[in-house]
A and B are shown apart, each in its own frame.
Chain A
Amino acid sequence: MSEWRFWLKEQRGTLAAVGIFLLMFTIYVSNHPAGLTANVVQTASNKGVLLAFVAMAQTLVVITAGIDLSVGMIFILTNALASWLVIGSPLETSFGVVAVLAAGLACGALNGLIVIYGRLQPIVATIATGAVFFGIALLLRPFPGGSVNEDLADMMTGKIFGVVPSSLVALVAIILVVWVPFSRSVIGRAAYATGSSEIAAYMSSLPIRRAKFTAYLLSGLLAATGGLFLTFFTYTGEAALASGNAYTLFSIASVVLGGVSLFGGRGTAIGAVFGALAFRTIGDLLFVFDFDPLWQPLFQGVVLLVAVSLGAFGLFRVRNRLEWFG
């Protein structure tokens, strides 16, 4: 096999997600009453980026063969926190941003510690911590409200040179600063190895615990980035339970669409980002076709079901039936 075919094989999941997104977005734009304008792209980007951040957060944990059901709640908690802190003079605002991101890191660290040292299954541990995070969010914002530094918010949700949505630029920047170094670091490789086969990773004397902890930590950070952007878009904070749960579930959907294996060890955050953008576009397709919005959850559910089923095809190749359960 020549080099580019190896590359193609390695990137298959990610490329499929890019393909799905491009297809869906083309259908979306060509049926949109306004067509392909900077404003349409900006709106789509602002909606998509939120889920993209949360999906990236989910990806890091899923790569280690875990799952983080608290990402949506970290997203909500940091939104509530940002509506208190990201305000005032430039100095105060920057302090607020740092504090919000630090809160995300703290949430991720807590998840990591419980999963690694408490030896709880990630699914149980993160349901519990998610409830805790939501509880704190509710105490911070019993009622929707608060405010945000509007100059910063407008800058982050506007357009650069009147064309490029700045939220998209921010997403690319975060990918370059967080994902790319992670995926190429020793810790990142250990995370993949742990997800692929924890026993083999142990026998290869890889830093399994540090890899998992880093994954949860960065997951918290990325979810907090999402929470920050939510505040920029809405100008307020709100402890919305339904929204938190929806983001958690959609993040898993995006991860699957993005070609990340829920069994761990395979997939990229870039794939998940495109999975998120595609998922959002699919949801919005109904609007441009003038369907009743009531159909949206059902439609998204069907799309997700199809995507998940495609991922299960590998089971047909199994020669030892016991491997179905491994």
Chain B
Amino acid sequence: MITSAIPAAAPLFQMDGVSKRFGGVRALENAALAVEPGRIHAILGENGAGKSTLIKIMAGVVAPDEGRMLMDGREVTFRSPAEASAAGVTCVFQELSLIPDLSVADNICIVHPPRRFGLIDRQAQRVIAEEALVRAGAEDIHPRMLVKDLPLSRRQLVEIAKALAWKPRILILDEATSALTAADVAKVFSVLMRLRSEGLALLYISHRMHEIAELSDECTVFRNGHNVMSFAAGTHSNGEIVEMMIGREYSNAFPPKPERATDTATPALECRKLGWTDRLRDISFTLGKGEVLGLGGLDGQGQRELLLALFGVLRGTTGSVLVDGKSITLASPAEASSEQIGIALIPEDRKTEGLMLPMTVRENLSFSVLDQVSRGGVINREDEEQLIDEMIKLLTIKTAGLDLPVAALSGGNQQKVVIAKWLMRKPKIILLNDPTRGIDVGTKHEIYLLLRRLADRGTAILFYSTDYDELIGCCDRVLVFYDGSVARELKGSGMTERALIASALNVEDGHVGTAA
């Protein structure tokens, strides 16, 4: 199916006035986009700008609240990924849609396997899979390999091969190169360029500016759920593009940061060349007592893995970690949170990793201090009560009773319970994994105050946030992550949204003072 590559005619795909809300958060607001055949269209935007919601709507994963989508000028609705694919819109997700226990060939042909007498024809399937692998530039992958035995970068190529087996007219690639090695990226690029010449429309979501410059014909920048601007590739500089991405609304007041003298004391935490698989590379930094150190960058650049590694969740880490100048081994969360080491992790997903939802507030709070309030295995209710009361007051948790299930509290109060639970152990180092995601402004503000108060008392805080505003407002320094390593360190007046975005995208930005 080769369509002519003349862009002037009606676009192949068009969306108009599309909006989507999740709870109270507007992810996409009145968004518009036009996609033309034979072109590579790059989508840019920072965390939470609406990129992923946009492609989920296009791929039929979520339904829009408002607005319409047109294909070949006719209105379409996609109720499932299958409907979208059948209509010609296929998305290459990040390692999400492959079945680990099935073979490469099974996976490529999973949707429309060739059949003989009603049963799957494995010979024919093998042929189709081999062709698709060649088309995806991955002819060295054996079709009988199990997907789970392939390294991540090879799986991504299988994803592309699988998407091509749908014979799509629009192919969406969501961070398709983020897991690839440089050699594989070059291969994927030549594949994408060939597909473009065959008349396919490609929608390319990436945070790698040089890839976009090399590959795309046009770009659309998203910000706060709006499409800010569309332009032909090469007509704007990286700096101008960063400028377009800036502009989040500032709504939070942050507590003042104290002046910090240059640290000469032993740092609370020091990482030396910490590594784990290919997700963390040579991470080195120090975190002083009483310091709030931010972790920035785009989502999924290794920030979470760093926190998990420090908390003893990951196995096979390399490099060394020092607490109070003493080298520690990262064996388990129980060890990391022991009194000698004193690390606490406030997890990202409070519902699964932080709380036992059906259990009461009291029980949830006292989990982490059961050893302190019990004697001979029996819990002393008075001691327990006293400790819990202190925390409830400190954090102003609003609950009608300690014996209510945690599930009955609001999201903000639940998050406070998670924090309180760990504060009860009086940790020396607190790791926070995007703690304010999905909670109300008032509670956010209280959490900011609390963090600063803890820091003033000497607690060291490592704070990962996807909200740049928050990083600038709360942190003394910020480490910006890119591709599993620290791309840049920002501090003082150098911590601007512009600098954060530029370094998150790993592009140079001459206007800001940075320290390496």
Interface residues of B in 268-303 (CB under 8 A from A): 276-277
Interface flag for B408 (CB, 8 Å): no
The residue on A at minimum CB distance from B121 is A184
The residue on B at minimum CB distance from A9 is B146
**Complex interface bits, B75-107 against A, C-beta within 8 A gives 1, otherwise 0:** 000001110010000000100111111110011
Contact assessment for B102 and A192 in the assembled complex, using a CB-CB cutoff below 8 Å: yes
**Complex interface bits, B339-356 against A, C-beta within 8 A gives 1, otherwise 0:** 000000000000000000
Interface flag for B248 (CB, 8 Å): no
Contact partners of A199 in chain B: CB under 8 A:
96
Contact assessment for A181 and B97 in the assembled complex, using a CB-CB cutoff below 8 Å: no
Interface residues of B in 310-344 (CB under 8 A from A): 312-316, 332
Contact partners of A185 in chain B: CB under 8 A:
118-120
Q: Chain B's nearest CB lies how many Å from the CB of A176?
A: 12
Interface flag for B308 (CB, 8 Å): yes
The residue on A at minimum CB distance from B107 is A204
Complex-state Cα separation, A195 to B120, whole angstroms: 19
Contact assessment for A322 and B111 in the assembled complex, using a CB-CB cutoff below 8 Å: no
The residue on B at minimum CB distance from A265 is B101
Complex-state Cα separation, A288 to B303, whole angstroms: 62
Interface flag for A312 (CB, 8 Å): no
Q: A184-B119, A204-B110, A205-B111 are in contact. Are A320 and B308 (CB under 8 A)?
A: yes
Name 5 A/B residue pairs within 8 A (Cβ), A-sorted. A10-B144, A193-B102, A204-B97, A205-B80, A321-B314
Q: Which of B93, B102, B146, B308 contacts A203 (CB 8 A)?
A: B93
Complex-state Cα separation, A320 to B102, whole angstroms: 22
Contact assessment for B313 and A322 in the assembled complex, using a CB-CB cutoff below 8 Å: yes
The residue on A at minimum CB distance from B316 is A319
Contact assessment for A189 and B102 in the assembled complex, using a CB-CB cutoff below 8 Å: yes
Of A10, A189, A203, A261, most buried by chain B (CB within 10 Å of CB) is A203
**Complex interface bits, B475-494 against A, C-beta within 8 A gives 1, otherwise 0:** 00000000000000000000
Interface flag for A201 (CB, 8 Å): yes
Contact assessment for B119 and A189 in the assembled complex, using a CB-CB cutoff below 8 Å: no
Q: Which of B119, B142, B315 contacts A6 (CB 8 A)?
A: B142
Contact assessment for B142 and A204 in the assembled complex, using a CB-CB cutoff below 8 Å: no
Q: A193-B110, A320-B314, A322-B308 are in contact. Are A205 and B82 (CB under 8 A)?
A: yes
Contact partners of B101 in chain A: CB under 8 A:
192, 195-197, 261, 265-266
Complex-state Cα separation, A197 to B110, whole angstroms: 13
Contact assessment for A6 and B144 in the assembled complex, using a CB-CB cutoff below 8 Å: yes
Interface flag for A290 (CB, 8 Å): no
Complex-state Cα separation, A276 to B111, whole angstroms: 34
Q: Chain A's nearest CB lies how many Å from the CB of B31?
A: 23
Q: A6-B144, A192-B102, A320-B314 are in contact. Are A186 and B113 (CB under 8 A)?
A: yes
Interface flag for A151 (CB, 8 Å): no
Interface residues of B in 141-168 (CB under 8 A from A): 142, 144-146, 162
Contact assessment for A196 and B99 in the assembled complex, using a CB-CB cutoff below 8 Å: yes
Complex-state Cα separation, A203 to B308, whole angstroms: 28
Interface flag for B115 (CB, 8 Å): yes
Contact partners of B162 in chain A: CB under 8 A:
204
Q: A6-B144, A197-B99, A200-B96 are in contact. Are A205 and B314 (CB under 8 A)?
A: no
Interface flag for A102 (CB, 8 Å): no
The residue on A at minimum CB distance from B162 is A204
Contact assessment for B110 and A203 in the assembled complex, using a CB-CB cutoff below 8 Å: no
**Complex interface bits, A296-326 against B, C-beta within 8 A gives 1, otherwise 0:** 0000000000000000000000111110000
**Complex interface bits, B219-232 against A, C-beta within 8 A gives 1, otherwise 0:** 00000000000000
Of B100, B106, B115, B276, most buried by chain A (CB within 10 Å of CB) is B100
Q: A1-B142, A3-B144 are in contact. Are A204 and B120 (CB under 8 A)?
A: no
Contact assessment for A204 and B119 in the assembled complex, using a CB-CB cutoff below 8 Å: no
Complex-state Cα separation, A204 to B107, whole angstroms: 9
Interface flag for A116 (CB, 8 Å): no
**What is the number of residues of chain A that contact chain B, defined by CB distance less than 8 Å?**
31
Q: Which of A1, A181, A193, A203 contacts B81 (CB 8 A)?
A: A203
Q: Which of A192, A197, A200, A204 contacts B111 (CB 8 A)?
A: A204
**Other contacts beyond A204-B110, A205-B111: 6, CB < 8 A:** A189-B102, A189-B113, A200-B99, A201-B99, A205-B85, A265-B100
**Complex interface bits, B163-192 against A, C-beta within 8 A gives 1, otherwise 0:** 000000000000000000000000000000
Complex-state Cα separation, A1 to B143, whole angstroms: 11
Contact partners of B120 in chain A: CB under 8 A:
184-186, 189
Interface flag for A206 (CB, 8 Å): yes
Q: Is the interface of A mostly helix, strand, loop or mixed?
A: helix
Q: Is the interface of B mostly helix, strand, loop or mixed?
A: loop
Of B93, B102, B308, B313, most buried by chain A (CB within 10 Å of CB) is B102
- A residues apposed to B, CB below 8 Å: 1, 3, 6, 9-10, 181, 184-186, 189, 192-193, 195-197, 199-206, 261, 265-266, 318-322
Q: Chain A's nearest CB lies how many Å from the CB of B311?
A: 10
Contact assessment for A206 and B81 in the assembled complex, using a CB-CB cutoff below 8 Å: no
Complex-state Cα separation, A137 to B145, whole angstroms: 47
Contact partners of A197 in chain B: CB under 8 A:
98-101
Contact partners of A205 in chain B: CB under 8 A:
80-82, 85, 111
The residue on B at minimum CB distance from A198 is B99
The 4 closest A-B pairs by CB, nearest first: A205-B82, A203-B97, A196-B101, A265-B101
Interface residues of B in 33-68 (CB under 8 A from A): 61
Contact assessment for B315 and A321 in the assembled complex, using a CB-CB cutoff below 8 Å: yes
Complex-state Cα separation, A322 to B99, whole angstroms: 20
The residue on B at minimum CB distance from A188 is B120
Q: Chain B's nearest CB lies how many Å from the CB of A59?
A: 15
Q: Chain A's nearest CB lies how many Å from the CB of B459?
A: 25
The residue on A at minimum CB distance from B122 is A184
Q: Which of A10, A184, A204, A318 contacts B99 (CB 8 A)?
A: A204
Q: Which of B99, B118, B276 contacts A192 (CB 8 A)?
A: B99
The residue on B at minimum CB distance from A63 is B101
Complex-state Cα separation, A195 to B93, whole angstroms: 20
Contact partners of B312 in chain A: CB under 8 A:
321
Contact partners of A203 in chain B: CB under 8 A:
61, 81, 93, 96-97
The residue on A at minimum CB distance from B59 is A203
Contact assessment for A186 and B99 in the assembled complex, using a CB-CB cutoff below 8 Å: no
Q: Chain A's nearest CB lies how many Å from the CB of B79?
A: 11
Contact partners of A6 in chain B: CB under 8 A:
142, 144-145
Q: A184-B120, A205-B82 are in contact. Are A265 and B99 (CB under 8 A)?
A: yes
Contact assessment for B97 and A200 in the assembled complex, using a CB-CB cutoff below 8 Å: yes
Complex-state Cα separation, A3 to B126, whole angstroms: 12
Q: Chain B's nearest CB lies how many Å from the CB of A265?
A: 4
Q: Chain A's nearest CB lies how many Å from the CB of B155?
A: 11
Contact partners of A196 in chain B: CB under 8 A:
99-102
Contact partners of B276 in chain A: CB under 8 A:
319
Complex-state Cα separation, A261 to B148, whole angstroms: 15
Contact partners of B313 in chain A: CB under 8 A:
320-322
Contact assessment for A319 and B99 in the assembled complex, using a CB-CB cutoff below 8 Å: no
Complex-state Cα separation, A266 to B102, whole angstroms: 8
Contact partners of A10 in chain B: CB under 8 A:
103, 144
The residue on B at minimum CB distance from A202 is B81
Contact partners of B107 in chain A: CB under 8 A:
204
Contact partners of B96 in chain A: CB under 8 A:
199-200, 203
Q: Which of B93, B106, B119 contacts A181 (CB 8 A)?
A: B119
Complex-state Cα separation, A321 to B122, whole angstroms: 37
The residue on A at minimum CB distance from B81 is A205
Contact assessment for B98 and A200 in the assembled complex, using a CB-CB cutoff below 8 Å: yes
Contact partners of A9 in chain B: CB under 8 A:
146
